[in-house]
Amino acid sequence: MIRIFPSVFSGTLSAPPSKAHAQRLLYAAALSSSPTTLQNVPACEDIRTTIQCLEVLGAAFERKEKNSLIVQPFIKTKPVPRVRFDFGSCAATARYTLAISAAYGIQADCAASESLKKRTLFPLASRMAVRGATFSGFTFPLTMQGRLEGGEYDFDGQLTSQYVNSILLAAPVLSGPSVIRINPPILMSGQIDITIKTLEQFGISVETIEEGYRIPGRQTYTSPGVARVHNDWSLAALWLTAGALSQDKGGAVSCTELPADSPQGYRDLTVMHSQLITDFKDITVDASDYPALVPLIAIVAAARCGALHLSGTPQLHHKETDRLKTIAAILRDMGADMRDTEDGLEAKEGDTFDYPEDYLVDCQGDPNLAMSFALAAPVLNKPFLMDEQAVNKTWPGFWDQYRALGGKFDILKNTIDS
């Protein structure tokens, strides 16, 4: 347990590596015909889960130096016939692993954490089920068998891009060509672009068509030898926003080592920041380009007692928690008039935002919620309590960085992983 105090953030942050990019590179490297050295790999829980699942398939990993791994691909000519996966709480690992396993006809018995059991696989599994894979159910635990075939795969662009990315990673090794159609609007299309760029880096041909992508089958992943994980724009954006909130108290945060050519998004925060740092009473935010900032925006609106009309993020109902519903419920309990909608949040202007000192914020294991509340410290007037371990899923070094940039907290029970 940790007690977080009102704080002012100032300094320079070296942006952490991107978990999302690292996962794509890990799968591509494991699918390759020769070893790959991956540099700048984050050491978080989700990456450990990804590596463990790829080890089950037969891939091997050797740590070369700090944050670098040599990935030995698994044998494609004689894959393991039946495996058991434990996906923990990582939905991306579950979706990517299932699609790739099905591409090789591997039967899989799959377990997951309680939080992942609540997240349906139906948008992905139902498409795979008409292309050769069979599932005992659409929630964990489940058993999958059969061999995935090429063909047409249709997805809703307003759902998580992980469904599209799963088929993009698996389709090149199928026996026939595949067409992926995505019904617009496509939210955070940059996440799909990251996958396309990863595939191209490993010699995979993907044709962009009007409604989506066409991927020839019987392709071979070819290792580039060395690949580097990009640093994470979305995590940096949280810190840049915390720095903007600190400006009136003399603070400021800058981030280095961010790739200018990355399709991750989150690079244009000027308009949103200008709204948040004013003494607003009513703001309208289209957060479709920066969904990771939604909880932090909501906390700022509540603390400023302002009305909020936030839209563009329906996918946040399907994260580690129902992120929209959870943040709305926490802020209501803290005194705000906040509710979740189909694609965002609505709040009425309030008179006061007051909560008991040492109020316990229950983030339900969601790392984004935990980081958002911590980084809202410049606009919160009282200390509050929180379970600090949720951040380990995404960024184990968060609290060290937090203290280094001015964050104030007390550890009430020594539970922070060293």
Phi, psi of 72 (to 5 degrees): -95, 120
- Quickly state the pLDDT bin for 418 (edges 50, 70, 90): very low
Asked if pLDDT for residue 417 goes beyond 70, the answer is no
Report pLDDT for 161.
86
Beta-bridge partners for 72:
60
Domains 2-16+231-411 and 19-216 share a fold: yes
Residue 14: exposure state from Cβ atoms within 10 A (0-12, 13-18, ≥19): exposed
Report pLDDT for 414.
55
Proportion of the chain above pLDDT 90, given as a percent = 85
Considering only the top CATH level, what class is 2-16+231-411? alpha beta
Q: What is the average per-residue pLDDT within 311-322?
A: 91
Rounded-to-integer distance, Cα 335 and Cα 318, Å: 25
Rounded-to-integer distance, Cα 62 and Cα 38, Å: 10
Asked if pLDDT for residue 416 goes beyond 50, the answer is no
Q: Where are the domains of the chain?
A: 2-16+231-411, 19-216
Proportion of the chain above pLDDT 70, given as a percent = 99
**Cβ neighbours of residue 338 closer than 8 Å, sequence gap 6 or more:** 298, 301, 302, 308, 327, 328, 331, 332, 345, 346, 347
Q: What is the average per-residue pLDDT within 228-252?
A: 95
Mean of all residue pLDDT scores within the chain: 93
**Alpha-carbon distances, residue 258 vs 6, 18, 190, 263, 368 (angstroms):** 28, 10, 15, 11, 20
Q: What is the average per-residue pLDDT within 30-38?
A: 97
Lowest mean pLDDT among 2-6, 188-192, 353-357: 188-192
Lowest mean pLDDT among 42-51, 256-265, 368-377: 256-265
Asked if pLDDT for residue 110 goes beyond 90, the answer is yes
Asked if pLDDT for residue 125 goes beyond 80, the answer is yes
Amino acid at 406: G
**Cβ neighbours of residue 108 closer than 8 Å, sequence gap 6 or more:** 82, 83, 84, 85, 97, 98, 101, 143, 144, 145
Predicted structure pTM score:
0.93
Asked if pLDDT for residue 314 goes beyond 90, the answer is yes
Asked if pLDDT for residue 96 goes beyond 50, the answer is yes
**Alpha-carbon distances, residue 132 vs 90, 128, 180, 220, 268 (angstroms):** 25, 7, 16, 21, 42
H/E element holding 194? Answer: helix 189-201
Asked if pLDDT for residue 158 goes beyond 50, the answer is yes
Lowest mean pLDDT among 38-47, 175-184, 288-297, 406-415: 406-415
Q: Which residue has the higher pLDDT, 257 or 52?
A: 52
Is the CATH code 3.65.10.10 the one for domain 19-216?
yes
Q: Which residues of 399-415 are buried (b: 16+ CB within 10 A; e: fewer)?
A: bebbeebbbebeeeeee
Q: Which residue has the higher pLDDT, 260 or 184?
A: 184
